[in-house]
Amino acid sequence: MTVSTLVGALVVGLAIGAVGRLVIPGRKAAPVWLTLALGVAAALLGAIVTGLVDRRPAGSPLLPLLVQSGFATVAVVLAVLAAGRSAADRQAPHDPGARRKEEV
């Protein structure tokens, strides 16, 4: 793994982490640093997987970037959606058929 691969994974991870927060609508329960860190970690994992699978000596730089972007996108979207779902689950569900307690 070269330095350019690591820098590319860092840039891709930060970009996907930032864009992932903007694409998902509504208030996010996951902090910004978490989405950025997950994007970078997943992009690095994508770089490792690409390095293990692609053994061409002068391979195209497009394949590692696509794999890194895919891994980072999936990780960030899953994290933001899972964090948002857990925040929504903490709220009491609204049941329109339920009767309200009368104030005395």
pLDDT digits (tens, 9 = 90+) for 20-71: 877 776 676 778 888 888 889 998 998 888 888 877 766 677 878 888 888 8
pLDDT at 103 over 60: no
Question: Confidence band (pLDDT; 50, 70, 90) for 88?
Answer: very low
Instruction: Tell me the angle at which helices 32-53 and 62-90 cross, rounded to the nearest 10 degrees.
Output: 140
Rounded to two decimals, the pTM is 0.70
**75 or 85: which leads in pLDDT:** 75
Q: How far is CA 38 from the centre of its chain?
A: 6
Q: What is the mean pLDDT of the chain?
A: 77
